[in-house]
Amino acid sequence: MADTIEERSMRKERTGTVTSDVQDKTIIVRIERRTTHPLYGKTMTQSKKYHVHDETNDANLGDTVRIVETRPMSKLKRWRLAEIVERAK
């Protein structure tokens, strides 16, 4: 049982912005990260979109949310909504 608790705490967490909430119980979240170009050293912003399970359809477009890695829910959904950090204004 202790192994299960440790494993759950090891799950990845990300914070991003909701870009789509059209689907039922699914939101699309864009995660941005800053990296430097390997040759030129310029700082660049890279982004990736994740399909996230939102059981209560609570998140709306533009909200800042925290997502957590979980078991596969469907072909694309591998993340679930943990909390809404900040509502869109």
The per-residue pLDDT for range 25-50, each reduced to its tens digit, is 999 999 999 999 999 999 999 999 99
Q: pTM for this structure?
A: 0.85
Q: Which of 61, 70, 82, 81 is nearest to 10 (CA)?
A: 70
- Beta-carbon count within 10 A of 86 CB: 11
Domain range summary for the chain, segments of one domain joined by +: 2-86
Mean pLDDT of all residues belonging to the chain: 93
In this structure, which amino acid lies at residue 16? Answer: G
pLDDT given for residue 18 in this prediction: 98
Confidence of residue 89 (pLDDT cuts 50, 70, 90): confident
Q: Average pLDDT of 55-67?
A: 97
Q: Which residues pair with 50 in a beta bridge?
A: 29
Enclosing H/E stretch for 10: none
Do 69 and 11 meet the contact criterion of CB atoms below 8 Å apart? yes
Do 80 and 70 meet the contact criterion of CB atoms below 8 Å apart? yes
Do 30 and 48 meet the contact criterion of CB atoms below 8 Å apart? yes
pLDDT given for residue 24 in this prediction: 97
Superfamily, domain 2-86: Nucleic acid-binding proteins (2.40.50.140)
Q: Average pLDDT of 46-60?
A: 97
16-26 pLDDT per residue, tens = 999 999 999 99
